[in-house]
Amino acid sequence: MEKIKIAIQKSGRLSEKSLELLTECGIKVSNGNRKLRTEARNFPMEILFLRDDDIPQYVEQGVADIGILGENEVWEKDKEVDMIEKLGFGNCRLSLAIPKDEEYTGLDYFNGKRIATSYPKILHKYFQVKGIEVKIEELGGSVEIATGIGLADAIFDIVSTGSTLLMNGLKEAEAIIKSEAVLIGNKNLSPAKTELLDRLLFRIKAYKNGQGKKYVLLNARNEVIPDIVKLLPGMRSPSILPLNDEGWSSVHSVISDDDFWDIIDELKRHGAEGILVVPIEKMIL
């Protein structure tokens, strides 16, 4: 049977999350001894563990059929690959940072400055559009120390919490672009591999749809059901089932974590009783 080959980071911030996603999709992967290549036990898939900045090239050339990596690496490498699906984890931003004691006066501050980065293409395009001349110092890593050792006046790098900047005497000046983990694919997959990709995407979307949502069940008197339904839109609309007790119904719906406590308070105010809240693992729309 033909297998689909997926490339993920062998280490780093997206490695464990990528393996976790495959697990949530019901795909069993064993990599206890950190091999560079392994196979899934219950899905026709081969997993390659690579450097994240190598993944776009491997996918473009068909060494891997698909890959999981940050959007930032896709933009920087600029290879001929398909951006298939945003995955909802690995969120960060690419930002310009300067020494914390410097006064930042806007983008013109960077005119004529030396900026250290591992993302020279993204940075060059950005300042080219802005019409600002900068000198780019390309580094493979440890970008944060560039200003401290006199290599650059500023840096352009990934920022998640900002703590690494602070530890290196820097402050964020401009957030340029947001990035998250994405699934990319080779542009010339065979029909068999396209079918496997569709099966994987179905599982990924079911997992993503369930994230940040709760399944809510409650009981209420029939006369207050119209008011309660207004609070619970559900996937299409709430399910309403009559109870054995005359004049009462059970209402089932899905709500977002962001609105959870506000909605629960309103449900109680409108007469909802016996409210049961259940986490959602997967949701198929």
Is pLDDT of 31 > 80? no
- How far apart (Å, rounded) are the C-alpha atoms in residues 112 and 101? 19
Predicted confidence at residue 13, as pLDDT, reads 79
pLDDT single digits (tens) 152-166 = 999 999 998 888 899
Is pLDDT of 33 > 60? no
pTM, full prediction: 0.86
* Average pLDDT, rounded, for the chain: 93
- How far apart (Å, rounded) are the C-alpha atoms in residues 128 and 151? 22
- How far apart (Å, rounded) are the C-alpha atoms in residues 123 and 258? 35
% of the chain at pLDDT higher than 90: 82
pLDDT single digits (tens) 40-66 = 999 999 999 999 999 999 999 999 999
Is pLDDT of 234 > 90? no
Q: Which long-range contacts (CB under 8 A, 24 or more apart) does 101-108 make?
A: 102/171, 104/171, 104/173, 107/132, 107/174, 108/132
Residue ranges and CATH numbers for the domains of the chain are: 4-90+180-209 (3.40.190.10), 92-179 (3.40.190.10), 212-279 (3.30.70.120)
Number of Cβ within a 10 Å radius of residue 228: 21
Predicted confidence at residue 64, as pLDDT, reads 98
Model confidence at 140, pLDDT cuts 50, 70, 90, reads confident
Q: Comparing 160 with 18, which gets the higher pLDDT? A: 18
Read off the pLDDT of each residue in 206-218 and give the average, rounded to a whole number: 92
